[in-house]
Chains A and B, each alone.
Chain A
Amino acid sequence: MKTFQDFLQNWPAQRRAEAVEKATEEQVFSVLNKNNLQPEDFLTLLSPAASPHLERMARRAHELTLRFFGRAVHIFTPLYISDVCTNQCRYCGFNAKNKQPRHHLSVDEAAAEARAIADLGFQHILLLTGDARHLSSPQYIADVARRIKPLFASVGIEVYSLTTDEYALLVDAGVDSMTMFQETYNPELYAWLHPAGPKRDYAFRLNAPQRAAEAGMRSMGVGALLGLESFEQDAFATGLHGWWLQRNYPGMDVSVSIPRICPHEGSFDVPHALDDRHLVQYVTALRCFLPRAGITCSSRESAFMRDHLLPLGVTRVSAGVSTAVGGRVTEDAHNPGQFEITDGRSLDEMTAALRGMGYQPVLKDWENPASAC
């Protein structure tokens, strides 16, 4: 079976760079008047030639967002159930080298945390773990999912890469969505960023969404950690990944996440820190390229930025976020989170803010047909 890795070979870095460099203002205008964009059109919108025309791109993105999503914004919240990790990712707070207390919730503890989240009104939850198969095994994640599924309309996962059979195990336990951050689509840079641990396997991670789709996952999110590689390279590869998944798994809902790394996050200076203009260019280009894909903006971004990105294409936001393990009802381990959040709004604050902007906060947007009646 052809994989995204195979397909990506058609778009080597050199080809991307040349296309971006050659893009013209006229091509940008032409692309903005097209209905169905191709990958090369997406590159045009990511190019410097498009940069002076952000307002025009924004208007197009806004119109497409209204058309396909209306003024409804999906809300979810994460639940970190373990920060034990065997990887040494240079940009991550869970890095195994970081000497800090680690916390791993039992199934009962995870269920108690989930109940507290459900009591706040959340109906979409995202389970996250560090990469430690010996402790946070697929079976453990499945056990947590099965336990908390009755509390939520949707249970998603953002965990380490799994095999097809392991994804099937989670689907059977009630998991309906997964998010997989490739971090960077540049294999050489990826190897440097991940010096040790199972996450070093670039290809196994890159093709994880496809395995999840084969296992019956209903909804899929992909993303790069923006700032690790040059903007055009990783922004393009991420959008291309979403596009490829949509075309090969048409029954699956595809979304794209847009996290950007803070300039001094991790144990190195961020080489390609993304400014606000480029983030806006990315969101609007994504919306034009993938009109029906969800775009997720996490609490890494400020409330100001998240609010202003909504009309440009963002359709999914988190609220009530903690990137630490436990603390709601289980003993707070006072452990640092995976990363610093910037938008700390609670669910009620987020829903009030959305309403104030003329948007409808959607707390429930899924009914799993497989478990209905």
Chain B
Amino acid sequence: MEFFKQATPEERKIYYREEWDVNQVPNFILGQLENREFGFDHFGRGPNDRYKTFNSPEYLKRFMRSKTPFAAYCSVAFYEKPRKREGWMHAELVFDVDAKDIPIRTCNCDNVCEICLNEAKEIVGNIIDTLKSDLGLKNIHLSYSGRGYHIRVLDESVMEMDSDVRSQVLKYVVGADVPNDKYENRGQIYTLRPYSIPFGYPKVFTDRIKYSILHLTKDSKIEGISKNLLNKTLENRKFIEENQWGDFLNKLDPNHPKTGARNYNKLINSIASLNMSLVDGKVSIDLKRILRLPSSLHSKVSMRCTEVKNIDTFDPFKDAVPKFVWERKD
């Protein structure tokens, strides 16, 4: 049986009429259905049927059953008048991790596969962990999008925040900026590399950089990193695995006290910018984005976009494959 094959119109009909249930739409959406804008893609050319609203789950159910859309979306924003997209109230804070677009993947697949989906899951786990432990955010929901994951934060304290602050949160959780390493205290300047600070953003940054370095392959192409530096990094990354960052630095730049840690800095800077693309930044800063509706079908890959209750036990190949896929003859 072949995964990730596009669903036929007949299969969509089977899915929405026999398998889909409006109660699979998570409560964080059904609870305030009337304030969300819905969008639909009926022909597989993008969501051009927008500004839809549903006053009750029953209307949504009837619509899905009769239209059996190619894809269904709902807004992250809440509006007083969602049909006109007027009276913006607030919006979920969202992180979109698409396995297909992860810049460092250990697999070489063209689309998505078990390996990169697992890597996406790992990244998602790290982000959620930081959102909870550092940023103290609650009411965090996760859904499998069909080719990756959507982290959706409905904590009231962040829902009114503007794009600038959202972008800072994004950079924080993915480790997209190299932390300052010069600190001033009572007129004296101290130099502290991020790995020697085991708390706050430097700790998050060190963890993210570690993740990325450990997922590099000899074929990785990273702007600013030569083949030579990549090889040197791969040869010595065992030190990072054991958190021996000082030794790693010494190997990369043996003469660093005199000549500066050129290779190390180059590597850290390049990976920091690359970390930014672990998550689709545009989604996070957009205050009125529409996202795939959990429970709906991702017809391009014949997978169900579904709410993930437990990230540790969630297996997309078990939990997000619609019945019709298992019943396919080919």
The finding on whether chains A and B are genuine partners in a shared complex, rather than unrelated, reads: no
Q: Which residues does A use to contact B, with CB under 8 Å? A: none
